[in-house]
Structure 1
Amino acid sequence: MAKALIVSDSHGLREELLVLKKRYENEVELMIHCGDSELQTNSKELEGFVTVLGNMDYLGQEFPKEAIEMLGTKCIYITHGHLYDVKMSHLSLAYRAEETGASIVCFGHSHIAETYEREGMIFINPGSIRLPRGTFEKTYAILEAVGSEVSVIFYSLDGERIDHLTKRYTV
């Protein structure tokens, strides 16, 4: 089983990122930050994370606008989402992810925790560990991939599983 920790929109939080890193350091192969960390690119809190540039990342202008990572056999496209107007529609994001050959898309920006499948592609927004929208819970996600089975499990910042957001896919 291949696993990834996915966070986004931490907006300056430091200790919380360190806690999540320590909680999952021996459980995941990949740690993803979907932008708006508001930290510098060389900050110890982001060490080990694949981090992309968010619209509020003025200190970390060197972050890439997008990243492509492999988790087992799954290709993951990572971006913040502001460049694709994800608060309006996910269509442009879907087109870009398709261009990269990704089967999983990780993004942030809206602060809304969600996951869904569209035409064989899985979309994951882990929400925000600082300023959630659509829920009171500060959230992050764990992606688990085994063969054609993919699970997206959401957790509150304190580590409690959020079952109503969690989904399993076969792709």
Structure 2
Amino acid sequence: MKVLIVSDSHGMTTELAKLKEIHGSEVEYFVHCGDSELAPGETALKEFITVRGNCDFYEEFPEDIVKKIGGRTFFITHGHRYSVKSDLIKLSYRAKEAGADIACFGHSHYLGAEMVNGTLFINPGSIRLPRGRRERSYVILDIQENAYEIKVFDLDKGELPELRQVFSLSN
């Protein structure tokens, strides 16, 4: 089961459509972690599970979503309500409360993934205004029986194989 995760696209529509076109046949779910700055009915967001970011002004988007995907519980948020620019403590508490196996968030525009106390935290960076790297990044998470594989992509250059990560799940 593959899930494409993107965040902080800040008004981009053509690029979101491009992601669906490129990866639509291999990805079962599309997740947008907020700051799309698009209206809920926008065609570019169709098929995306989308949360509200601090730059999104449409209240139709929920602040957080808890959703079962591929047998795993996802906690999806933008991150601004959990101080993710400082650390992951508040987000990890909330993810634990939600029973999340995977927490997806954005807000900082910094690409990163790490396993903390059995929960995988993924920030796909930003396809509009990346920080810490030049690549306009998004990720594809492959949920396997005993592992999570994360592939990082640059909007312009495609996959960045040197950033691939595999997180083994212990029973």
TM-score when normalising by structure 2: 0.96
Which residues of 2 match residues 76-91 of structure 1 at below 5 A?
76-91=74-89
- The Cα RMSD (Å) is 1.0
Preserved contact between residue 3 and residue 71 of structure 1 (Cα < 8 Å): no
- Of 41-50 and 159-168, the range deviating more from structure 2: 159-168
Aligned partner of 2:145 in structure 1 is 147
Query: By how many angstroms is 1:159 displaced?
Result: 4.9
Amino acid at match of 2:53: G
Q: Secondary structure at the match of 2:52?
A: coil
Identity rate of aligned residues, in percent?
A: 45
Query: By how many angstroms is 1:155 displaced?
Result: 0.4
Within the alignment, does 1:37 sit opposite 2:36 as a pair? yes
Match of 1:67 among 65, 79, 85: 65
Distance, in Å, in 1 between the alignment partners of 2:75 and 2:150 is 15
1:47-82 superposed Cα distances (whole Å, 9 cap, x missing partner): 010000000002x22100011122211111100000
Aligned partner of 2:20 in structure 1 is 21
- Structure 2 unaligned spans of 5+: none
Preserved contact between residue 29 and residue 71 of structure 1 (Cα < 8 Å): no
Within the alignment, does 1:118 sit opposite 2:83 as a pair? no
Query: By how many angstroms is 1:166 displaced?
Result: 2.2
TM-score when normalising by structure 1: 0.96
1:71-103 superposed Cα distances (whole Å, 9 cap, x missing partner): 211111100000001001110000000111111
1:100-122 superposed Cα distances (whole Å, 9 cap, x missing partner): 11111100000001001111111
Aligned partner of 1:97 in structure 2 is 95
Runs in 1 of length 4+ with deviation above 4 angstroms? none
Seen in structure 2, the aligned counterparts of structure 1 residues 65 and 102 have a Cα distance that, compared at 3 Å, is same
Distance, in Å, in 2 between the alignment partners of 1:161 and 1:91 is 30
